[in-house]
Amino acid sequence: MIVVAVIAACVVLAVLAFLVPRISRHPERGTQRSLGVGARAGGRAPGILGRLLSKPFQASSRAVGRSGTAGRRARGRMPF
């Protein structure tokens, strides 16, 4: 269920970044902030378990950032 939510967020952010690049930064940062909270909560577990629990949130945050960047880059390459 979490995977579907992250994929949906990436798609929405990519489309939003393509249509309105400046306005898309706020939702992107909010999504990354909420994923950061999950990563920090998972990272509080001791030892290797903490790294394993925080890793999916870090990867999801990176994916959200890349999708927003890709949408803005695609908008910049448009001929009009």
Give the mean pLDDT per block of 10 residues along the chain (80 residues).
93 96 95 96 95 96 96 90
21 touches 6 (CB < 8 A): no
Question: Residue 49 contacts by C-beta under 8 Å, 6 or more apart in sequence?
Answer: none
Question: Residue 13 has what pLDDT?
Answer: 96
Question: Residue 60 has what pLDDT?
Answer: 96
Summarize pLDDT for 26-49 with one digit per residue, the tens.
999 999 999 999 999 999 999 999
Closest by CA to 4, choosing from 60, 50, 58, 53, is 60
Question: Residue 79 has what pLDDT?
Answer: 85
Question: Residue 2 has what pLDDT?
Answer: 86
In whole angstroms, what is the distance from residue 58 CA to residue 72 CA?
A: 22
